[in-house]
């Protein structure tokens, strides 16, 4: 009879994302880290993990994922989990800065700048994230 293996100790999600970010080779790594900090500071209910091979954010469900294919601007995909939500009529958000591009009624891309453009967009990003997590 073989002895039972003890399952590996699960790492904290933040440690996993920290490790992912340390290993990440991306031209906007500094900007992605800045956006990551901003999102996590919006609410203590927001956590993070590596999902879909990218930093992703969650409350009760995952709601945003960094689009690492974008190399000239930081881009997030805002979603309401992995499955399409049939219970929603339409998500509406105030977006006076014009950061959003709607991909479906429950999914959009949020595009920020690069370099010095992130800090001036902080308030708009925080407002959109607060509105978005109300739907999760």
Range of the domain at 23: 13-133
Per-residue pLDDT of the chain (136 residues; tens, 9 = 90+): 444 443 343 445 556 899 999 999 999 999 999 999 999 999 999 999 999 899 999 999 999 999 999 999 999 999 987 666 677 667 889 999 999 999 988 899 999 988 788 999 999 999 999 999 998 8
In a domain, 50, yes or no: yes
C-alpha closest to that of 74 among 29, 42, 108, 106: 29
The domain total for the chain is 1
pTM here is: 0.84
Alpha helices in the chain (DSSP H): 13-23, 29-42, 122-133
Give domain status of residue 1, yes or no.
no
* Domain CATH for 108: 3.90.1150.200
Q: Is residue 6 part of a domain?
A: no
């Amino acid at each position: 009879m073989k002895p039972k293996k003890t399952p590996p100790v699960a790492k904290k999600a933040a440690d996993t994302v920290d490790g992912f970010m340390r290993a990440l080779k991306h031209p906007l790594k500094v900007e992605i880290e800045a956006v990551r900090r901003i999102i996590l500071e919006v609410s203590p209910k927001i956590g993070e993990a590596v999902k879909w091979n990218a930093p992703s954010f969650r409350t009760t469900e995952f709601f945003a994922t960094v689009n690492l294919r974008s190399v000239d601007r930081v881009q997030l995909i805002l979603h309401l989990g992995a499955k399409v939500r049939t219970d929603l009529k339409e998500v509406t958000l105030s977006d006076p800065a014009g950061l959003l591009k709607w991909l479906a009624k429950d999914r959009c891309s949020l595009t920020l700048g690069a370099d010095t453009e992130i800090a001036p967009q902080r308030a708009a990003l925080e407002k959109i994230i607060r509105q978005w997590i109300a739907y999760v």
